[in-house]
Amino acid sequence: MSDSRAPAAQAPALRAALARTWGETVALFAHVPFGVSLLAIWAVLTLIGVIVEQGRDPSYYAGAYAPPLARLILRLDIENIYHSPAYIGVLGLIICSMAAATFTKVIPRRIPRLNPVKIDAIPLHARLRVAGDPDAVRARLAAFFSSRGWQVRKRAFGGTEWTFADKSNWARRGVLVAHVGFVLIAVGTTIYWATGYSGQFAVLSGQTATIPQNGTKVALERFAYRIDPVRTKAGIVYQPIDYVSDAKVTARDGVTRDAVIRVNHPYDANGTLIYQSTYGFAIDFRVTHDGVPVPGPDHPLKEGEGFVVDGTTRAIQYQRFVGTIDRATGMPGADPRPNDPGVIVVAFDGDRPIGQALLPLGVPVDLGAGYKLEAARYVLYSGFQYRYDPGIPVVGIGAFVLLAGLCVSLYFVPARLFIIVRESGAGTSEVGVAATTVKGYDVFEDRFREIVEALRRDAPSVPHANEAAPAPVLGAV
């Protein structure tokens, strides 16, 4: 029996402990410096991703960094930091922190109830003595502030009547709007992570490529580019002006359509956007041994691709296309357009690079031991990126909500005046005014001074309570 009662007795204690832990966690998350620390971690992780090039293969990091650093980059997912658990985790914590702060701090603090205050305890305060009994003075004060665009409300607390005047009260919700905007962006991004996809592919002229995730087919009929020579202070610069692919696209609906995919103008294939991102020159390499063709690569190679020369330990890598070989020097010329084209290849023995050469197109070169290599012809290829992102509308709305929230909270300073009027004898009243804003006092100091001066002008202080001079009247509005 005692066994069954013990857990029952422990349950409230456990619940209390859990409630306390929950309360402490919420309080920690709602603490602004904690939230800002999370923002700082987010900034640092983001900055690391700017400095360390993202998405390269491991050999790149091994080459670019000292071995311990390269290992660290790969082990900690720094090469793909924006999709790493740490990055996504920090964003999740920021959202939690923002939510905790919004409910426990922003709403109570930024949208406070109308409550009486100790006028003199508020740094921005003033006291004036004016003519008239309290009711009349209150009425004149209400008219004074209303006519200047303040929202005036009256409340009685324990028999004392208070007047509250608010400016830009609506703008107190700006923070909420900004926080909601940020959450919407996070939701939209999550929708993409959960259901969207993206990638890239290259198609040679005359060939077809398929987007693996949805089966969309892109048949490239023709690719064209325009590069113009431009005379600048530094000499002639060959400036790319345009590139465009003529293709036939068969989207998910099974219908084939003619598509002109031009740089800066993505093609929409049933919700998947296909963007003209790059182009290049694929090369048809041929190898002979003692004049007899030997098997070479089975497709034209793109920049960076290579092949092993059949029957040897040697490999050839196609490094880069040279549009124009300078006739005088035999070196790559500045004009990237294929006038007198060639290719730069690197030869390897096993993994070891043994030399680099510039091969004019159509001219076989000796590789030694009876082998000859020829870059026979080039085929233009077009490089595309694609993306299906159903989260875009949510992100878009979130971005504008966030911006609206920022503008509201940063350009408008909601201020509240607390006004109390007390009888002070000889037909006069004492007016106490204090001001609070959501951004501290300094930001409102000048404005408060102007308000008090306007009040003073309209209702000059009674020179001295015991002086006989007639008390001035709070000016007409």
Q: For residue 294, give both structure tokens.
A: 């030997």
The residue (of 94 and 316) whose beta carbon lies closer to ligand HEM is 94
Backbone φ and ψ of 315, nearest 5°: -130, 150
Do the beta carbons of residue 316 and residue 309 sit within 8 Å? yes
Smallest distance from ligand HEM to CB 175, Å: 4
Closest to ligand HEM by CB, 91 vs 137, is 91
Residue whose CB is less far from other proteins, 275 or 281: 275
How far apart are CB 139 and other proteins at their closest, in Å? 21
- The single residue among 117, 273, 308, 357 that binds other proteins, judged by CB under 8 A, is 273
Residue 98 binds which one of ligand HEM, other proteins, none, with CB within 5 to 8 A depending on kind? ligand HEM
CB under 5 to 8 A by kind: which of ligand HEM, other proteins, none does 279 bind? none
CA distance 195 to 207: 29
Q: Is 374 in the site for other proteins (CB under 8 A)?
A: no
Which regions of 233-271 does DSSP assign to beta strands (E)? 235-250, 256-262, 267-269
Q: Using the minimum distance from each CB to other proteins, give the nearer residue, 1 or 121.
A: 121
- Integer angstrom CA distances of residue 167 from 268, 408, 477: 48, 13, 18
Which lies closer to other proteins via its Cβ, residue 423 or residue 442?
A: 442
Tell me the sheet residues that pair with 296: none
The residue sitting closest to ligand HEM, measured at its beta carbon, is 35
User: CB of 448 within 8 A of CB of 434?
Assistant: no
CB of 181 to ligand HEM, least distance (A): 7
Chain contacts with ligand HEM (rule: CB under 6 A): 30, 32, 35, 38-39, 94, 97-98, 101, 105-106, 109-110, 175, 178-179, 182, 402, 405-406, 409, 438-439
445: exposed, middle or buried (C-beta count within 10 Å: 0-12, 13-18, 19+)?
middle
- Does 265 contact other proteins by CB under 8 A? yes
**Interface with other proteins, residue 28, by CB under 8 A:** no
| Whole-number Å distance between alpha carbons of 358 and 340 | 12
Size of the site for other proteins (CB under 8 A): 75
Name the DSSP class of 168. Answer: S
Tell which residue, 329, 383, 339, 333, has the closest CA to residue 361.
339
Continuous segment of H or E residues that includes residue 61:
helix 58-64
**Which of 204/438 has CB closer to ligand HEM?**
438
**Dihedral pair phi/psi, residue 42, rounded to 5°:** -60, -45
Of the candidate residues 73, 129, 371, 436, the single one contacting other proteins (CB under 8 A): 129
The single residue among 103, 439, 454, 477 that binds other proteins, judged by CB under 8 A, is 439
Cα–Cα distance for residue pair 72/358, rounded to 1 Å:
38
* Residue 288 neighbours by CB distance under 10 Å: 16
Does residue 179 touch other proteins according to CB under 8 A? Answer: no
The interface partner of residue 97, options being other proteins, ligand HEM, none and the CB cut-off 5 to 8 Å by kind, is ligand HEM
